[in-house]
């Protein structure tokens, strides 16, 4: 039987895969597992619930609140808020756990439920497995005063905004910024906090109706932001995804600045200010080779993890690092957040521009972006990727041809029956040619019979 929890909570098509009944059962099981410590001390557990504005989040949030409160958990309903805000508020309220209802950058019909442990940290696999097992076990059913309250968390946004402003090393006065909220959870917070920090703000993608989240706006659809930056003569554009745990940027000329370039800028800034713990940046194996080269040139160590922000977070927590992230725009500042925070990332970029008196293009030039070609090869036996002699021979031939000026990465998908072939090289033609050649061999050798 497939594991219910994926790489980032439980996700699926709302009202088909992620049903009302499942939402209640998950909440009841979470109350059993994550409320145990509080109950052992004779007190009611507390939980914070946040959601993005997709329409299905309304009934799922109600179901989760019902499942928790009927299990004796006091619920603080924060309403529509970014994922990192829910994580922050879980810690700020000293709650036993938090629940975020979102499908991130997915389209409106999807939704998801993910949990945060005490302190706002993502769950490890063992706790997720315990929750899944508890879904078929006995439920808590207190009566009278043992039933939990459901309370509107009235100052949730204000607490989060104060936290974000407190993280800034300097104000943003004089900067003109376009903020793209993806018609998502950032709409109520991001424009306000940029204005409070002193920036002149133009807002797009900030009219959520429950159905338009991530539709033509946000970090997966940057053309609207590029056009707005050019139209308004802005210094900077920042784009969030639906739950605002990501940030990609656009410079004054409309050029995209991705998560790798953002990490390069911020790693150098933090090193200069003595805030880069152990002089190390944590990234994933999919980060651009140019990031690794730039870090080496500036005397910064770089650790690579498996793909997924949870693995970056695990490395940061295990070793006490202060900065990490992914090319997709998940950037983690462990001093201020327990998960990727797109609004915080955008603020940090803008603050560095003002601190240095430089444009975003100037700051991003610290890193050369190597052409990166990615080809997905479906319908293959991904378990033989590392052992097939002809596939590996082709990889070695490519690496020899690149002479250290590029790299090859073959990665079996964690969720689909396919292999991802990624080649980086100094020029796009070389990267494309080698990626296609390797993909053909993977298809010929590993296709399922």
Which residues are catalytic, by number? 104
Q: Three-state SS for 300?
A: coil
CB-based contacts of 278, cutoff 8 Å, min separation 6: 301, 319, 320, 321
Three-state secondary structure call for residue 357: coil
- Residue 199: burial class (beta carbons within 10 Å; 0-12, 13-18, 19+): buried
Phi, psi (degrees; rounded to nearest 5) at 29: -70, -40
Q: How far apart are CA 206 and CA 191, in angstroms?
A: 9
Q: In whole angstroms, give the CA distance from residue 38 to residue 47.
A: 11
DSSP strand E in 275-349: where? 280-284, 301-305, 323-325, 331-333
Q: 269: which 2 tokens?
A: 């800034």
Phi-psi region of 9 (alpha: psi -120 to 50; beta: other; left: phi over 0): left
404's torsion region: left (phi>0), alpha (psi -120 to 50) or beta? Answer: left
Residue with structure tokens 């939402």?
23
Q: Which two tokens stand for residue 412?
A: 């079996």
Report helix, strand or coil for 154: coil
d(CA 81, CA 311): 24
Compute the residue count for the chain: 449
Secondary structure element (H or E) that encloses residue 317, with its range: helix 309-319
Spatial contact of 55 and 108, defined as CB atoms under 8 Å apart: yes
């Amino acid at each position: 039987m497939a594991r219910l929890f994926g790489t980032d909570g439980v996700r699926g098509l709302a009202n088909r895969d992620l049903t009302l009944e499942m939402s209640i059962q998950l909440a009841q099981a979470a109350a059993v597992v994550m409320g145990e410590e509080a109950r052992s001390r004779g007190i009611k557990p507390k939980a914070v619930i946040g959601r993005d504005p997709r329409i299905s989040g309304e009934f799922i949030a109600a179901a989760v609140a019902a499942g928790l409160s009927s299990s004796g958990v006091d619920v603080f309903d924060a309403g529509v808020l970014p994922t990192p805000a829910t994580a922050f508020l879980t810690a700020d309220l000293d709650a036993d756990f938090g629940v975020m209802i979102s499908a991130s950058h997915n389209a409106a019909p999807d939704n998801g439920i993910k949990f945060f442990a005490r302190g706002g940290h993502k769950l490890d696999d063992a706790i997720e497995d315990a929750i899944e097992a508890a879904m078929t076990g006995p439920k808590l059913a207190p009566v009278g005063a043992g039933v939990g309250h459901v309370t509107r968390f009235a100052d949730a946004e204000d607490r989060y905004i104060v936290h974000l402003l407190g993280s800034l090393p300097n104000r943003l006065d004089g900067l003109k910024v376009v903020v793209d909220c993806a018609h998502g959870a950032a709409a109520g917070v991001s424009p306000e906090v940029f204005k409070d920090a002193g920036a002149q703000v133009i807002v797009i993608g900030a009219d959520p109706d429950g159905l338009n989240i991530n539709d033509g706006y946000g970090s997966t659809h940057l053309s609207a932001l590029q056009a707005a930056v050019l139209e308004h003569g802005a210094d900077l554009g920042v784009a969030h995804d639906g739950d605002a745990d990501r940030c990609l940027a656009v410079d004054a000329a409309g050029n995209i600045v991705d998560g790798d370039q953002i990490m390069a800028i911020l790693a150098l800034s933090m090193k200069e200010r003595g805030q880069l713990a152990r002089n190390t940046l944590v990234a994933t194996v999919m980060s651009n080779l140019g990031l690794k080269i730039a870090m080496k040139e500036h005397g910064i160590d770089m650790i690579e993890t498996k793909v997924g922000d949870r693995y970056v977070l695990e490395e940061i927590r295990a070793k006490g690092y202060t900065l990490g992230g992914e090319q997709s725009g998940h950037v983690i500042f462990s001093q201020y957040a327990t998960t990727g925070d797109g609004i915080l990332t955008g603020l940090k970029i803008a603050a560095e521009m003002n601190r240095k008196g430089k444009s975003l293009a100037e700051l991003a030039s610290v890193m050369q972006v190597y052409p990166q070609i990615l080809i997905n090869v479906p319908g293959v036996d991904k378990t033989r990727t590392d052992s097939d002699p002809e596939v590996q021979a082709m990889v070695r031939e490519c690496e020899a041809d690149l002479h250290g000026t590029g790299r090859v990465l073959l990665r079996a998908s964690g969720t689909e029956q396919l292999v991802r072939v990624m080649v980086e090289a100094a020029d796009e033609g070389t990267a494309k040619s080698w990626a296609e050649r390797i993909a053909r061999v993977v298809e010929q050798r590993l296709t399922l019979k």
